[in-house]
Each structure stands twice: as C-alpha cells, then as structure tokens.
Structure 1
Amino acid sequence: MKIIFFVSCHFLFCLLFGLSILGLSTPVFGQSGVKVLAYNIHHANPPSIPDSIDLPAIAKVIKNSGADLVALQEVDVYTQRSGSGLHQAKMLAEMTGMYFYFERSISFQGGEYGNAILSRFPIEEKEKLQLSSAENTEPRAMLVVLVTLPDGEKLKFASTHLDFSSNTNAANQARDITAYFEKETLPLIMAGDFNAVIGSEAIDQLDRHFTRTCQEDCPPTIPVIDPKKAIDFIFYRPDTEISVKDHRVIHETYASDHLPVIATLVW
C-alpha cells in the first residue's frame, strides 16, 4: 500500500515530501526573485510616429522583461486619440497573460487616462489614493493592490505618477504617499514615474521611508535617445526582509518616451 501511495501521489507533494526526508529546504519563490517593471507607456504612442498607437510594442516590452509585477503610467482607456473602443490596460493584460487594475487620474477625450497595474498573481484587494494637487495642475493618483506570491508571502504593490509642473506639488504628493503607508505592516513595492530626480524634495521624502532599488548610480530613463535624467524608480520596504538582486534600464527606444526600469527583488 505504501508503494502504491507513493507512485500515485501528486508530483509536487512527492517532491516536497522527498526533500523533507532528505533534510533539504523546500524552494521559496521570494528567494528566486520577484521581477518588477516601472513603465510610463506614453499612451502607447511611439515618439517617432506622432498620432500613432502601437500597443503590441508595449506588450512585447513587458513580455520580454519577464516581469511579475508591472506599474504603468499614462494609460488610455476609451479615449479619442487611442481609440474609443480600446481599453489599453485590459488589452495589455490579455496580450501578456496577466491580471490588471486600472483607475483614471483624469477624464480625457471622452474616456479616461491614468495608472494601471499588471500582475502575474491574482489581485486580491485594490485601492486608489487620490494625491493632493495644487490649483490648475493635473490631478494625480496612486494605485495599490494586494497579491499573494506562490510561497504564501503577501505583498502590497503600488503604481504612481507624480506631478511634473511643480516641485512643491510633487513633494506634497510624496508626503501623501508616505502618510498612506505609515502604518502598513506588509512588505511593499512601489514603482512609477516620479517626475523628480535624486536629491529633489520629493525623492528625499520617499527615501526617508523606503529604499530605492538603485542608489546614486541610477541609470537615466529620459529621453529615450541619449537619456539624461533618472525619474522612474522602484522603491521597497522593509530592507530587513527584501534585497535587490539587480536593477537595470531596458534600452527600448521605440515604444514610449520613457525607458522602462526593471529590478529583481528577493526575500
């Protein structure tokens, strides 16, 4: 009976059972790494081809990156310029085989324009934080989701896009974010286009509460041709549980006006 049971058991159970007998630790997903992508997609408009939309090019970048979690900015949903029938976040999720969450930051051209999250893991909870905006500036927001990794680790993941028109406004929005996460106890990863450079008030505010996947040597992300500034970042906490395996910029110069940033985080 014992032999029959062993042969007929589920392969994964047998593997884990065998490892335990041998005294080996079972594999943990977080130890092999979670890949995170920050990507301002410029509503899928290739800068070299004005008034065009090439969503498959964005999907290709995402798929080729191997990302598990993706923070997207400048996403169009049912807008005139991108197509009144096109939900870019939903279509990207279908093209990449991922789950998605989109919320508008503003109404635009008969549709919506804002941030999105793509996740290889089911999205269990989702929330939008409206960020403070000075009068006559474009409203900005942050999206937050809860996912569970295959090893059972729960994780909060956020996508945001700060204001570019005012350093003061961006700093205030950074304070909104740190206040929102002040009492958060779960591991957290946040990615996006922060429209601010290292040493600015906004990034200094975030640096006091989170750790960046790159430090002073962050490779630049804009413009895509001969980039000069790093304004797209990935933050995480706590640094006592999470560490950075690698951080790099993907030098894809056609699909968007920002270079995507990818980092692998391990537990």
Structure 2
Amino acid sequence: MKKLIGLIIMGSMVLACGKGGGGNEPVIDPPKKDIIVKTMTYNIFGARSGGIPDLKVIAEVIKKADPDLVALQEVDKNSDRNKHNGDIAKALGEMTGMDYHFVKAIDIAGGEYGDAVLSKLPVKEKKGFNLEVDPALGGERRSVARMLVEKDGKEFYFISTHFDHLSDERNRIKQANDFNALCKTFGKPMIVGSDFNALPTSNTMNILKTYFTVGCLNGNCSQFTFPTPTPNRTIDYLIYQPLNAFTPQMYSVFTWANKESDHYPVIANFKINF
C-alpha cells in the first residue's frame, strides 16, 4: 500500500511540473489594455453679454461630452463685458471638476482675453506663449495655452490656441509657421485643439500639416463646425504630433450643442501608442 501511495504522489508531481512554470509551456502575459484619451476643442464665443447669458450652459456641454481634456478659445478673464462670469477658465474648471490654465493674448474691456485648457488628468506643468501678427497687416496677438499632462504613466502636451480671424490670410500663415516652429522645441508628443479660422484646404492648414496630422478620421474633415445652428464650414480642429504617437479612434462634431456658442464643440478619442 505504501508503495502504491508513493507512486501516486510521484505521478502527481510529474503532472504538476508539466502544467506549471517549471515545464516547457510558454508563459503568456495578459493582453495590454489600450490607453485612450478623450479630448475636446470648443470656441465658447467669449461667454459674454450678448453671447452666452449663463456660463452654466457651457459647463453642461463639457460635462455631457465628458472629456479628459478641453481646449477653450475666446476666453475672458475679469473683463467689463463679462462681469457676470469673471474668470471664465477658473469658473468652468470649478463647474466641471477640472484643473484649468488660462493664457492671455490681449487686454480687453478692462480685463484679459485668450485661450485656456481644462484637464481631468494629472497636470505636471502649465505654460503660455504668444503668436504675433504680420506687422504689415496688423491685428490681434494670439495666445497658446500648454499643459503637460499624464495618463497611465504617459506624459504629453495638450494645447489650445486660436488663429487670426481676418479675411486676409497673412496673419494665419505667419501664425501657422510660428506655431510649427514653437512646437518643434517642445520635445514631447502633443495634441492641439484650436479654432484655426482656416478651411481644410487653406494655406494655413497646409502649413500646419507639414508638422501635424489632423485628427479627422482618414484626414476627412468634412463635418462643419461653424456657425451654429446652420454651419457651412470647418474651422475647428484637433491635431496631433508625431504621427506614430497617437491613433484617432473617434472624431466627431457634437451638433447637439447648437445654441450655447457660435461654434460646435469637436470631440476626439486618441489611443496613446508610446
């Protein structure tokens, strides 16, 4: 009997070794889960009197979209024309539960005007820059709001900017060239949300596309973004760089937000590849 029990135990050990890590079976790691970041760009029409009567409607659009990151354009800070809303970026951050960063482009109506970024992700750094105009043409200086953010250990920049609106394209061409040159100094992957005030086939967008890739799926930016409620052109975009750092998974103009601003919000999901 003892001999039989010993043989059974030895057989069990052989089977256990054959099935365990000590055998010849390869160890297969579970598949890695994709890291997706949800982004939004939104020109909020200054959130000013005569524009948006209540900042809560903008906050509700953002909350309904539920992005990780938001690029905001036409952002006032403590201007006389926007006394009921005060510091717009700060207020929207509080209403949506997001960190905020505002960068001034120009002084306006006793306050400031520029661009902002909101983030649900951990923020490692906040910085601002400016884009100038063609001196022969004149116009408004523009701002660049940049956050260094992190998702699941992956660090990248998220940026908001807003190019010149004049019918003459010279300022936008200068700003596109200057923006490319500026971003080439950053040294990390980036996603940019902007009202570029430029059509997909414009000289401005062609310049940007020498360095950036548009997030529109298959490069098809045919969904109109401006003006609400009857849009007739695409001028708002989410773009990224470098090409292999991100893969767009979804890109959409949220047409249900057709009265809160004169621009529709644009939403994109990007898979992080680095």
Q: Residue 80 of structure 2 aligns to a residue in which SS?
A: coil
Which 4+ stretches in 1 moved above 2 angstroms? Answer: 49-53
| Change in 2 beyond 3 A, CA 1:55/1:256 | same
The answer to whether structure 1 residue 243 and structure 2 residue 271 are counterparts is no
Show the counterpart of 1:9: none
Show the counterpart of 1:35: 38
CA distance in 2, matches of 1:114, 1:101: 11
| Change in 2 beyond 3 A, CA 1:58/1:52 | closer
Q: State the Cα distance separating 1:218 from its structure 2 match.
A: 2.8
Kept in 2: contact 1:78–1:84 (CA 8 A): no
RMSD: 1.8
156, 163, 170: which is aligned to 2:172?
170
The answer to whether structure 1 residue 24 and structure 2 residue 26 are counterparts is no
Show the counterpart of 2:110: 110
The answer to whether structure 1 residue 256 and structure 2 residue 256 are counterparts is no
CA distance in 1, matches of 2:245, 2:156: 12
| Change in 2 beyond 3 A, CA 1:210/1:67 | same
Show the counterpart of 1:61: 61
Q: Tell me the amino acid that sits aligned with residue 82 of structure 2.
A: S
The structure that has the greater radius of gyration is: 2
133, 137, 140: which is aligned to 1:138?
140
Structure 1's unaligned 5+ residue stretches are 1-20
Q: Residue 50 of structure 2 aligns to a residue in which SS?
A: coil
Kept in 2: contact 1:84–1:111 (CA 8 A): no
Show the counterpart of 2:160: 159
Percent sequence identity over aligned pairs: 36
Show the counterpart of 2:184: 182
Q: Residue 82 of structure 2 aligns to a residue in which SS?
A: coil
Kept in 1: contact 2:85–2:91 (CA 8 A): no
| Change in 2 beyond 3 A, CA 1:81/1:182 | same
Q: TM-score, normalised by structure 2?
A: 0.83
Kept in 1: contact 2:105–2:142 (CA 8 A): yes
Q: TM-score, normalised by structure 1?
A: 0.85
* Number of corresponding residues: 240
Structure 2's unaligned 5+ residue stretches are 1-26
Q: Residue 102 of structure 1 aligns to a residue in which SS?
A: strand
CA distance in 1, matches of 2:82, 2:213: 36
Q: Residue 144 of structure 1 aligns to a residue in which SS?
A: strand
Q: Residue 121 of structure 2 aligns to a residue in which SS?
A: coil
Q: State the Cα distance separating 1:190 from its structure 2 match.
A: 0.6
CA distance in 2, matches of 1:216, 1:168: 25
CA distance in 2, matches of 1:84, 1:67: 26
Q: State the Cα distance separating 1:76 from its structure 2 match.
A: 1.1
Kept in 1: contact 2:39–2:69 (CA 8 A): yes
CA distance in 2, matches of 1:191, 1:213: 10
Kept in 2: contact 1:51–1:81 (CA 8 A): no
CA distance in 2, matches of 1:210, 1:217: 14
1:92-124 Cα shifts (integer Å, max 9, x gaps): 000000000001111111111110000111322
